Amino acid sequence: MAIDPTSTEAAVRAIVLSLFGEDFPIRGGRLPVLESNRASIYDILTWVLPSLTPTDEFWWRKLGAPFSSMLQTAKFPFSSQCRFLCFVYARIINMMGPANSSGVASVMTIDGSPVELSWVIPPTGTTKDRANREVRFAIEPRDPHSGMPLRGSAVLDYLVSPNGSLGIVLCDEDNMSWRRTTEDFLFPNYEKNEIPEGSRFFVGFDFNPAGTLSLKAYYLPAPSPTPSLIQVASEGTSRSPINLWDVDYTPLRRLVSQLDSGLVKPLELLLSYFECLDDDYKPRIQILALDCVRSSKNRLKLYCRPKVGTSWSDAKRSLTLGGRLNSPEMQVAISHMECLWNNLFPNSASSVDRDLDIPCLDEAIIPDSEENGIKLSRAQHPIGGLLYYYSLVAGKDTVFPKVYLPVNYYCKNDLCITQAVERFYNQKNIGILGPRNGHSGLGWVSREVEEAFVHRPLHDRTGIHTYVTFALKSGGWELTSYFSPEVWLQQD
């Protein structure tokens, strides 16, 4: 929904100056009158903020515009929307890489976009802050000139510094404790400025309607080293105890004991499930992740995917750890997830219980190689299969699971996905018929996504949606939709 520029431009200018200082060189003069005589906060900031380099302008348009639309749809307060967009303008777009697909391809999305946005509509239809959903995004930070991935520790240290945070990222020293311990575990005795060879790093941003944000750190370990690299390591550099696509999780026992002894029980519960699986069904390690919050509030998240198994029974078994998680809350979650599954994948419904069908694929997502049974694209992004994460919380004897349904690979097009999600929300026992003060009626989910991602029609193909996920959290079930802006689509 647009806003009246004549009544808000002064407020936008005031917020910009409060963030960057009274001497910040904002553009003078009134905003040009648009044909509709209305403009979004993004439009006003594009006019008010200083001109960008071509590269930064590219990322401001590709990330800033859909992010702005998502904040508006979520009904974030005006001032918070403005602050967050200023943060993207000043601190994010200059670590997105070149304005072309040169350099090292991002592994964050299957289309190579180094950014993935997401939102969560709570089962109640509103958050505790009265916004109608949570809004987030994550990026794979890259050098703006070379396109090379940036080292996670350097990115995080900058973002929480007085200069880098803009007073928006709230973080004290203890908030960095777990991520430093994890970095020391994954990259022992590593002192170079570059990202450790073969590894990757993502940083996530969770936006609070009150106008502050918190960070998440995602570490992708390097693949198993070749014999020549093992020789180099033995001559002076310590090897990581875990490699990408490993099935051996035992080194994590050392990490959790260093983070918090309260993580031992949930890890052992998880490993007891993994150890009973045949090798093809054992999840391969992909990502270790954690929040940048106080140690007492943190969690360790393990992202992993098995070599085979894409049926409903596979998803149910992995979510419940083979029946080990059997609380009343889990039974409700399974019932809802089955409804979601059947809406998204009618040809592989739970009553049929067979592996997901693979529709006709374009060349960009045809498997190109394989690592320990995981099929990869040319850009080394995993293709097909189900992705899981298991969240370990100190002091909790249980595990909080989440399944990532790769709708971009198994659904016909993005419109089919939005329609399936809407049918799920419209179920009588869920009853989300549209967000507060937002779209409602038939097609409300599609209209929200269309407003954020305007670069092509939803019915063209898949790709805007990357995953639809279903999780059991401490407060109940949660559905998240993940999106790619497909930044290279119109260049190719």
Q: What is the tens place of the pLDDT at every residue in 27-41?
A: 887 777 654 456 789
Question: Residue 133 contacts by C-beta under 8 Å, 6 or more apart in sequence?
Answer: 73, 74, 119, 120, 121, 122, 127, 435
Do the Cβ atoms of 404 and 467 come closer than 8 Å?
Answer: yes
At 227 the pLDDT is 54
Q: What is the tens place of the pLDDT at every residue in 222-269?
A: 998 865 555 455 445 578 999 999 999 999 999 999 999 999 999 999
Is residue 159, in this structure, part of any structural domain at all? yes
Q: What is the tens place of the pLDDT at every residue in 469-483?
A: 999 999 899 999 999
Q: What is the tens place of the pLDDT at every residue in 155-178?
A: 999 999 999 999 999 888 899 999
Q: How many Å separate Cα 160 from the centre of its chain? A: 20
Is residue 14, in this structure, part of any structural domain at all? no
- DSSP string across 72-127: HHTT--HHHHHHHHHHIIIIIGGGB--SSS-SSPPSSSTT--SEEEEEE--TTSS-
Is residue 37, in this structure, part of any structural domain at all? no
Report which of 353, 315, 352 is spatially closest to residue 333, judged by C-alpha positions. Answer: 315
At 34 the pLDDT is 54
> Is the pTM for the entire model greater than 0.85?
yes
Is residue 13, in this structure, part of any structural domain at all? no
Is residue 22, in this structure, part of any structural domain at all? no
Percent of the chain with pLDDT over 70: 91
Tally of domains in the chain: 1
Exposure class string for 338-347: b at 16+ Cβ within 10 A, else e: bbbbbbbbee
Among 185-194, 270-279, 283-292, the minimum mean pLDDT is found in: 185-194
437 pLDDT band, cuts 50/70/90, is low
At 441 the pLDDT is 81
Among 128-137, 287-296, 392-401, the minimum mean pLDDT is found in: 128-137
Q: What is the tens place of the pLDDT at every residue in 52-68?
A: 999 999 999 999 999 99
Identify the domain containing residue 448 by its residue range.
Answer: 52-483
Mean pLDDT, rounded, of the chain = 91
435 pLDDT band, cuts 50/70/90, is low
pLDDT over 60 at 194, yes or no: yes
Q: How many Å separate Cα 370 from the centre of its chain? A: 24
Is residue 19, in this structure, part of any structural domain at all? no
Dig out the tokens for 243 from the structure: 């490699």
Is residue 15, in this structure, part of any structural domain at all? no
**Rounded Cα–Cα distance for residues 382 and 385 (Å):** 8
Is residue 39, in this structure, part of any structural domain at all? no
pLDDT over 80 at 145, yes or no: yes
